[in-house]
Structures are given as C-alpha cells and as structure tokens.
Amino acid sequence: MTSNTGTSVSRVVVIGGGYAGVMAANRLRLDPSVDVTLINPRPDFVERIRLHQLVTGSDDAVVDFATVLHPDVRLVVDTAERIDAADRSVALASGGTVSYDHLIYAVGSNAGPSTVPGVGEFAYSVTEFEDAQRLRRAVDARPCDAPITVVGAGPTGLEMAAELAEQGRTVTLVGDAIGPYLSEPGWRAVAKRFRRLGVRTVEARVAEVRADAVLLADGRRLDSAVTVWTAGFAVPDLAARSGLSTDAIGRLRTDETLTSVDDDRIVAAGDAAAPSGQPLRMSCQAAGPLGAQAADTVLSRIAGDRPAPLDQAFAGQCISLGRDAGIIQLARRDDTAIPVFLSGRAAAWVKERVCRGTIWALAREARRPGSYLWLKGGRRPAQPALDEMAVS
C-alpha cells in the first residue's frame, strides 16, 4: 500500500483492546508511516483489574479509549471471527473484513469452560465486563446476609471475597489452595485481614455447583445464594479456529520474538501468547511489556531488522483486600515470591496507584510512542501460566 505522497504504508491490525493490545497499537505509532487499526468488541477500554470493584459499585471499570489510545489509531468496534493468514485479512462478526500487512494477536483471556457440574448453569464469572455486570445484579438482588461463595483462591478470588465482605456480605472462599502465589508470611497477613472481614476460608475441591449450594469433594455442602467462579482462566479460540498453531489451552504458539511459528507476519501479545511453549503468567503486569515488545517486533520486521527476543521480568503481585487494605507480595524477577510484603492501608494505597499508573502508562504511550519502559532480566516465570489476571 502506498500513500498519496508515494511513501510505502504498512497496515498493522491489532486484535484486542486490552492492556497488551492498546500498548502495542500506541507503540506502533513510533513509525508514522504505519497505519494502525485496533479491533475490539467494546467501545470503551475495560480495566480488568478493577472488575471486582464494578461488582460492588466502587468503580465502573471503564475508561474512554480517547484517554488511552493514540488519536491516529483507527478503532473498529467489532468482534474478530477468523484470521485468514493466506489472504492477510480478518473477518468480522458484522460481515466485513479488515486487511493487514502485519497482525498483532492480543485477544486476552476469559473464564473458559469448567468440567465441574453446574458451573455453567449456576456460577457467575468476573473475568469479562459483562460477567461482572451480571454478578453485580445477582448480588444486588440478594439480601445482605445471603451466603456468597467465591470459588478459586488466587488473586481474583482473594480480591472478590474481600470486596464483598467489606460491604457486609457473608462470604466463604473455597480453593484447592488459598493464596498459592503468596509467601507464608504474606498469606498470614491476608488471613488476618479475612478474619477481620469475617471471610471464611475452606481449602477443598469443589465437586458440584447448584443453584443454592456448593458441594465439596469431601461431602460437605455450603449454602450459597450466589456462587462466584474464579478458578482458572482460558483464552478465546480465535487462533485455533483460524488454523494457527496453539498450545493446549489455545494460546498462539510463538518464538522468542513473539512471532507466530506459522507466519512471520503474525505476532502475539498478552495472555494469549505462548512464546517457546513457556508463557508468562496471565496478568496485567505481563501484558503491557508484551504489547510493547510485540509492537517492537513488528516495527523491526517492517524496517527489515532482526527482532529482539523477549526480555521482561516480574516484581511481585499487588492484591487489594477491599478499599481499606491490600497486600503487595514481592518476588524475584523470575516471579518466585519471597517472604517480603507490604500489607494494610499502605498496600491499598500502593495498589490504587498501580491501577492508576497502568492507565497513565497507556495514555503516556499514546502521547509519546516509545516512552514505555518495563522491568527486564527475568524471562521465565516460576509458576504455570494458567494463573490469575488480577494484579499489577
């Protein structure tokens, strides 16, 4: 494609307007000759790390794309149905198509199916914006003393349980392991907060979810007017449906430059990327740097340069425990937790600044493409990538 001035224009399509996709779209504007289109199913940017706040009404969890997206990025509000790698086009749910020279695959993650009976029929998710809205309506429709069970005790479950309990709700948190990422001292601090909030914790496997109860594998029955399911995340099946190579749960398989193993014009970022079969932990903390590096890979290919390999690290995990407390669990750069943490009101203050800072970083990259920096030197996370999304 050529512009009116005769300059060659590269068309880059980004699928997914989450943390990774928006970061990638903004950074691509480092090269003014690149024409960038962002495809996203919603007209607003969703702050996934605030969805538990949407449920309780302390935040609406949305930001206008005009705040975080470069003005020269074209936003297409639609759903990508299929990628035609041979034709270099994306088929949309509306019936249209968008052509590309390079594509960034940043579709994020979702709740995914569960093999536990009753989850699909009776449990509520908090993974997507619409899920959180449905959960909020369900909670609001029940009396304050109605029992609520949160299943899954990773960051999302911890945050959701605390947020509900802080409003005076009767909450039970169930998980195979409670706070598996946390260090032992870190978990003790969380347990102390839960005791103050009245959150009951049950370490057990769930065997079945019913309309009014959760049945545990050991035979116990927990009354539950509302059951919230936060146990595990999956990814959309767009790559698999498009005939691209994926890992066992559908993440796009890439090399160390985030380039698809099938097509060097397709690059992945965020939760749906599986570089060298060793994906990073699903998280906002990973998404921003992955988006920036995916954009850098595409820009290198457009310029005819060799893309740089993936290089990023983790710093830990920020978990809110209601509006008045939180925990900042520190970690080595390889994402291994260490027995050092910050808790209480100070941690809540830090977590809120992290949430605001994430939006600030996207907005700054929109104004000044290439300004975003990230922690490096810890390429591999220590734990499996099927983790929670809900942190820094």
User: What is the model's pTM?
Assistant: 0.94
- Report d(CA 117, CA 318) in Å as an integer: 32
- Report d(CA 148, CA 164) in Å as an integer: 9
Among residues 51, 341, 335, the alpha carbon closest in space to that of 190 is found at 341
DSSP assignment of 38-94, as one string?
EEESSSEEE-GGGHHHHHHTS---EEEHHHHS-TTSEEEES-EEEEETTTTEEEETT
Q: What was the pLDDT predicted at 1?
A: 55
Q: Quick one: how far is CA 276 from the chain centroid?
A: 20
Among residues 289, 267, 253, the alpha carbon closest in space to that of 377 is found at 289
Q: What was the pLDDT predicted at 381?
A: 43
Give the model confidence (pLDDT) of 171-202 as tens digits: 999 999 999 999 999 999 999 999 999 999 99
Residue pointed to by tokens 């959309």: 236
Q: Walk me through the domains of the chain, giving residue ranges and CATH numbers.
A: 9-109+232-308 (3.50.50.60), 121-227 (3.50.50.60)
CA distance to 105, 249, 270, 303, 322, per residue, from 19 (Å):
12, 21, 8, 25, 23
pLDDT by residue, tens only, the chain of 392 residues: 554 444 578 999 999 999 999 999 999 999 999 999 999 999 999 999 999 999 999 999 999 999 999 999 999 999 999 999 999 999 999 999 999 999 999 999 998 889 999 999 999 999 999 999 999 999 999 999 999 999 999 999 999 999 999 999 999 999 999 999 999 999 999 999 999 999 999 999 999 999 999 999 999 999 999 999 999 889 999 999 999 999 999 999 999 999 999 999 999 999 999 999 999 999 999 999 999 999 999 999 999 999 999 999 999 999 999 999 999 999 999 999 999 999 999 999 999 999 999 999 999 999 999 999 999 998 654 343 333 333 33
The token pair at 103 is 């594509």
Phi, psi of 190 (to 5 degrees): -65, -45
Phi, psi of 380 (to 5 degrees): -105, 130
Asked whether 21 and 270 are in contact (CB, 8 A), the reply is yes
- Length of the chain (residues): 392
Q: What was the pLDDT predicted at 172?
A: 98
